[in-house]
Amino acid sequence: MRRIAAGLAVAALAVGFITTGTASAEVQTARPDCGYTATPEEPAARPVSIPHDPWFTKGKVLVKVKTNQGDIPLVLDRSKAACTAHSFIHLAHRGFYNQTECHRLTAYPTLKVLQCGDPSNTGEGGPGYKYKDELPTDLQPAPNDPTGQRRIYPRGALAMANAGADTNGSQFFLVQSDSILRPNYTVFGQILPEGLKTLDKIAAGGIAGENPLDGRPNVKSELKWVLPLGI
């Protein structure tokens, strides 16, 4: 299961402009080696191809996300995580995320996130491939952490869930409130203010089931469609 460790647990950055990339401005001479690799032991929850390594490794891409609870616009940052942004755009353009539920909401004091991106709605599903981590190096240290290893994933951060090192797939999480984690999860963008309002609305609805801190959102939260406004 692709989960964020509950036991371990970007204030949204100001966005000046969005670039979608052009061949003349952003094609790189050396494409990154993302390690996109098929996972036959974990077949795709919905048919989709495996992406090629990206040409574009700079700039930001606006992604419109329509949910049944409101819009959650995102900004992907290629300069921080080109492989992750490229995979997300690849899946979104192919409708992989459309009509899928966000299957996990957490409300721990140190972990408040909404997890989405699994068409099987089980927490086990993915795209049938995996790829390398692009781990953050600029997160602030968590206060009062005796190990000195945990970091703050700030409110508004957009990050990948995983099942261990270099196992990124399709599942991602939206940080609703500052959360404390080891920096083992790729941050590849941010949630814009309108999206934070929708995220707060979903979180306020609480969690279904016996565990009030971790489970399926009490308010059904479905991604109607996910549309990148760029390539």
User: Residue 13: which of 143, 199, 138, 110 has the closest Cα?
Assistant: 138
Q: pLDDT tens, 116-168?
A: 999 999 999 999 999 999 999 999 999 999 999 999 999 999 999 999 999 99
The secondary structure of residue 106, as a DSSP letter, is E
Q: What is the reported pLDDT for 35?
A: 98
Overall size of the chain counted in residues:
231
Q: What is the reported pLDDT for 20?
A: 41
Q: What is the reported pLDDT for 1?
A: 47
Low-confidence ranges of the chain (pLDDT < 70): 1-29
User: Residue 195: which of 223, 169, 170 has the closest Cα?
Assistant: 223
User: Residue 73: which of 216, 180, 174 has the closest Cα?
Assistant: 174
Q: What is the reported pLDDT for 231?
A: 72
Domains of the chain: 61-139+148-229 (2.40.100.10)
Q: What is the reported pLDDT for 207?
A: 98
Task: For residues 137 and 226, give the distance between their C-alpha atoms in angstroms, rounded to a whole number.
Answer: 28
Q: What is the reported pLDDT for 142?
A: 98
Q: What is the reported pLDDT for 52?
A: 98
- Sign of the Cα pseudo-torsion (205, 208, 211, 213, in order): negative
Q: What is the reported pLDDT for 16?
A: 37
Task: For residues 102 and 115, give the distance between their C-alpha atoms in angstroms, rounded to a whole number.
Answer: 6
Could you give the maximum distance between any two Cα atoms of the chain, in Å?
55
Task: For residues 12 and 156, give the distance between their C-alpha atoms in angstroms, rounded to a whole number.
Answer: 5
3-state class (DSSP) for residue 195: helix
